[in-house]
A = this chain, B = another copy of it.
């Protein structure tokens, strides 16, 4: 029996606004859209094929209530500074600019998507 971790699904308050940010700000590509009676869903893929699913329930109103459940999404890139600038230029909220971590050979930056989901952008270094 196999278990493979596939996409996860985040509720968003404005589907097209979020899709635009994940496309233009983060460089993901829409792979398909699913229209159901109670919800609209969009799946986006990054390099390597891993996916994220965004969903907008038709009865949802107002901003997303984050509670304290989902902490953050990690994105790997070969250019943290460039992706950080691209994300913030496309409407992502700047949380922390790229900084080299002390413990690991990694540069990390933080942005928030239009609903306030936190995204950690990581660039791994060889040294």
Q: Which A residues have a C-beta under 8 Å from some C-beta of B? A: 1-11, 26-28, 45-48, 50-53, 55, 60, 64-79, 82-83, 86, 115, 117, 122
The interface residues of chain B lying within 8 Å CB-to-CB of A5 are: 28, 45-46, 48, 50-52, 73-75
Which of B55, B68, B86 makes the CB contact (< 8 A) with A11? B68
A115 to B73, CA, bound (A): 19
Contacts of A75 in B (CB 8 A): 3-6
Task: Tell me whether A72 and B4 are in contact (CB under 8 A).
Answer: no
Verify B77–A10 contact, CB threshold 8 A: no
- Tell me the bound Cα distance from A55 to B9 in angstroms: 19
- Say whether A74 contacts B11, CB under 8 Å: no
Q: Which residues of B contact A28 (CB under 8 A)?
A: 3, 5
